[in-house]
Amino acid sequence: MGKGRLPDPLKRREILYGRDTPREVLIHYGDLYRDEGRLNDAVEFYGMAGYREGLMELKEVAVQKGDFFLLQQVAGFLGEEIPSEVWRDLGRRALEEGKLSFAQKAFAQAGDLEALREVQETIKGEGEGGRKKAG
């Protein structure tokens, strides 16, 4: 799976925002970006194609990875409100992955003030010399 399959930035823009790009082509490139792990790019292609199935798949991946911004991007293309419980699940997963900023944002989005306070305390503690090693 080489990078040669992905378009250069100018070609990417042309494909993504071109007037006459067929839906199937957008989905194809979304799949290529997804397979290369470039999920934010995949979301754009799926979103422009109106490919709900692909967006729903990436929604699940976002929650599993604790990726706040990916879920937010998917939600924008779906035009749906993400339920609090989904944000809470993402926040828990982000916490497990050490993504404290994402956890904080997800718990705030969920309206889970208790979990939000706990994350803020953890962040504050790390800021006072308890930093984890980057890993």
- The 10s digit of each residue's pLDDT in 2-35 is 455 899 999 999 999 999 999 999 999 999 999 9
Q: Is the pLDDT of residue 60 over 90?
A: yes
Rounded to two decimals, the pTM is: 0.85
Cβ–Cβ < 8 Å for 49, 27: yes
**Helical packing angle, 9-17 and 23-35, nearest 10°:** 140
Determine the Cα–Cα distance for residues 9 and 96; give it in Å rounded to an integer: 34
Q: Which helix (H) or strand (E) holds 113?
A: helix 113-125
Cα angle 56-62-64, degrees, rounded to a multiple of 5 = 110
